[in-house]
Amino acid sequence: MYVPSEDSELAVHLLRVYLGKTGKTGLSILDMGTGTGILGMCAAMDRNADNVLFADIDDAALALARSNVMSNRNVLRAKCAFIKTDMFSKIPSKKLFDLIMFNPPYLPSEGERSALQNTWDGGPTGIEVSAEFMRQSVLHLNKDGALLLVASSFSDTDRLFRIAEACGFMPFLKQSVHIFFEDITAALFKKL
């Protein structure tokens, strides 16, 4: 399981900026690939969020996210639900969200895949997991909804942004941080 780091902190910061500016209430939020649940918990603490769905393919990640939610007094637990799913495969087709968040595996592949590698391996160019997420998320996002996605300069982010546009998304808020030899970018996209 991926331990929250600078990329998670950047995503949390951008999430808080978005939630503070959105002006919308009653938000339905999906935290895809929730891991420890850090993004979902941050969303559930916001007064504008009505419900937050924590989704992950890994049983251990879901158990940890659930445990973190239950042990955090600042999270309104009644807003939180959990689902085991590979991307959107178990998300009901009619379920739409106002915000879908994903801090995906975003680094380029380095050969054989292992269970640990699944936490950071985004495919041959580092964007394959993110590109598939964007293609699938189109069907689960309200017309005025937003996506929050994290990417690395080690992957083909220019191509990722072109794929986003081809899927009908436009970035409207973006922040980056330089960490050692890498730039991490968190971006919010809206439907065109």
Asked if the structure places residue 68 within a domain, the reply is yes
In a domain, 17, yes or no: yes
pLDDT in the model for residue 153: 74
Q: What pLDDT does residue 124 have?
A: 64
Residue 123 domain-assigned (yes or no): yes
Domain for residue 182, yes or no? yes
Residue 86 belongs to what domain range?
A: 6-191
d(CA 122, CA 126): 4
Amino acid 159: pLDDT: 87
> Is 187 a member of any domain?
yes
Question: Is 1 part of a structural domain of the chain?
Answer: no
- Assess if residue 81 is contained within a domain: yes
Domain count for the chain, please give it.
1
The backbone region for 31, taken as left when phi is positive above 0, alpha when psi lies in -120 to 50, beta otherwise, is: beta
Count of residues for the chain? 192
The whole-angstrom separation of Cα 14 and Cα 29 is 15
> Can you give the pLDDT at residue 156?
81
Residue 22: both structure tokens together: 């959105």
What is the predicted pLDDT for the residue at 23?
A: 86
pTM assigned to the model: 0.88
CATH number at residue 60: 3.40.50.150
Residues of the chain with pLDDT under 50: 4, 116-117, 122
Is 116 inside a domain boundary?
yes
pLDDT of residue 108: 54
- For 66-111, give the DSSP string: HHHHHH-TTS-GGGEEEEE-STTTTS-TT--EEEEEE----BPP-S
